[in-house]
Chain A
Amino acid sequence: MEERLEVDIRVPSQTRYLGLIGKIGEDIARTLKRYQGDREELAYHINLVLTEAMSNAIRHANENDPDKDLQITIQIEKQKLHIRVYDEGQGFDFASVPPPEFKYLDEHGRGVYIIRSLMDSVTYKRDKKGHVLEMIKSLR
């Protein structure tokens, strides 16, 4: 039987909700029946990309405005995981974020690199109220 699941969550654009959404992502990884890989590693990675994507949206797109919202959808269909994080801001130039220079010890700039390292496909584009970051990972 095809594994299908979709959750759609809306929270205020505040970092206090990072843990909650990350935990939901982890729990979804643990419910997957047919995943053959390391389930705990997948759980951590989903928690991580959700946390990084939301932090970016809060800081750079929603510009730390706590009255704005974040919408997060987690969808599993056809052995693929789709995570979408919708912001309500002007967006930021996601494509031009450079990979971190490992030899320089910068405090910032690792979030997008982490997302790109752990997911198979990452796109950032305009949406109704702002922008959406879509991250896809094959679960085969």
Chain B
Amino acid sequence: MIIQVEEKGSVVVIVVKEERLDAHNSSELKTQMLNLFEDGKTNLIVNLDTVRFVDSSGLGSLVSGFKNASARNGNLKLCNLQPQVKSMFELTRLHRVFEIFPNLDDALASFD
């Protein structure tokens, strides 16, 4: 799985550079986030710009990251969701859990 990690001040931006986030690769995202938490990072943005398909495992990895960030008094927010990906959050009611932003700038500004 190709994941790009960029630090923007106290916020870490994770760019998932895959078309699918599914049962085949979602554990790699989960591990990557756990490594960041172990390094003391608590505020994460996951940029799903290129992801056009997400399944229940992909959602589960994001829930794992969200719970870990919250437990450390941080947050995990999402940005750049394609319409079909966003509909998955609505189907599973997770749009009420995550803060979802239309673009990275808005997501970054929300941490100020």
Closest A residue to B20 by beta carbon equals A19
User: Is there contact, CB below 8 Å, between A51 and B22?
Assistant: yes
User: Is there contact, CB below 8 Å, between A19 and B60?
Assistant: no
Q: Within 8 Å CB of B24, what residues of A?
A: 15-16, 18-19
User: Is there contact, CB below 8 Å, between A51 and B23?
Assistant: yes
Q: Within 8 Å CB of A110, what residues of B?
A: 56, 59-60, 92
User: Is there contact, CB below 8 Å, between B60 and A41?
Assistant: no
User: Is there contact, CB below 8 Å, between A55 and B55?
Assistant: yes
Q: How far is the CB of B1 from chain A (nearest CB, A)?
A: 12
Q: How far is the CB of B26 from chain A (nearest CB, A)?
A: 10
Bitwise interface map of B from 1 to 32 toward A, beta carbon under 8 Å scored 1, else 0: 00000000000000000011011100000000
Within 8 A of B (CB), among A95-127: 100, 102, 105-108, 110-111, 113-114, 117
Q: Which B residues are closer than 8 A to A by beta carbons?
A: 19-20, 22-24, 53, 55-57, 59-61, 63-64, 66-67, 84, 87-88, 91-93, 97
Which has the most chain B C-beta neighbours within 10 Å: A15, A58, A106?
A: A15
* Number of inter-chain CB pairs below 8 Å: 66
User: Is there contact, CB below 8 Å, between A40 and B56?
Assistant: no
With A16-B24, A100-B92 in contact, is A105–B55 under 8 Å at CB? no
Q: Which of A19, A40, A59, A107 contacts B64 (CB 8 A)?
A: A107
Q: Which A residues are closer than 8 A to B by beta carbons?
A: 15-16, 18-19, 22, 40-41, 44, 47-48, 51-52, 55, 58-59, 100, 102, 105-108, 110-111, 113-114, 117
User: Is there contact, CB below 8 Å, between A40 and B60?
Assistant: no
Q: Within 8 Å CB of A51, what residues of B?
A: 22-23, 53, 55
Q: Within 8 Å CB of A117, what residues of B?
A: 91
User: Is there contact, CB below 8 Å, between A52 and B56?
Assistant: yes
Roughly how many angstroms separate A46 CA and B106 CA in the complex, as a whole number?
Answer: 33
User: Is there contact, CB below 8 Å, between A52 and B55?
Assistant: yes
Q: Within 8 Å CB of B56, what residues of A?
A: 52, 55, 108, 110-111, 114
